[in-house]
């Protein structure tokens, strides 16, 4: 069974610090990786996607992928209280399969 694992948290970081969120997955054949953000009581929204090994940067967000280690991470630089949310890691194993989500990591940025 394909699984996506995340630490549930809460992960607490001070304002201005770097938040590091981690995700591991069970199958080396995985193709595509996504990070969604979900504020309390709201629906998930896509913030990053990454398809190849290495880093991908978008503003304050950096996604990192290491397929050999089956590991994907999300770094949030200069964390703000508005970044406080649950971050969901999602994996697509092939082009014809729906996303599988991890259980999410709750991030709390303390002002």
Interface ranges with another protein (CB under 8 A): 32-34, 36, 42-46, 49, 88, 90, 92, 95-96, 98-104
Would you tell me how many other CB atoms lie within 10 Å of the CB of residue 81? 10
Decide whether 17 or 108 has the Cβ nearer to another protein: 108
Q: Tell the smallest beta-carbon distance from residue 6 to another protein (Å).
A: 8
Decide whether 76 or 106 has the Cβ nearer to another protein: 106
Q: Tell the smallest beta-carbon distance from residue 88 to another protein (Å).
A: 7
Decide whether 10 or 16 has the Cβ nearer to another protein: 10
Q: Tell the smallest beta-carbon distance from residue 99 to another protein (Å).
A: 5
């Amino acid at each position: 069974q394909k699984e996506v694992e995340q630490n549930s948290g809460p992960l607490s970081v001070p304002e201005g610090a770097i938040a590091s969120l981690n995700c591991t997955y069970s199958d080396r054949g995985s193709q595509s990786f996504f990070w969604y953000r979900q504020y309390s009581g709201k629906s998930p929204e896509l913030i990053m996607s990454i398809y190849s090994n290495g880093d991908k940067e978008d503003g304050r967000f950096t996604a990192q992928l290491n397929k050999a280690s089956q590991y994907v991470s999300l770094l949030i630089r200069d964390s703000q209280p508005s970044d406080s949310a649950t971050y969901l890691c999602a994996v697509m194993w092939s082009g014809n399969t729906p996303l599988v989500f991890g259980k999410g990591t709750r991030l709390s940025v303390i002002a």
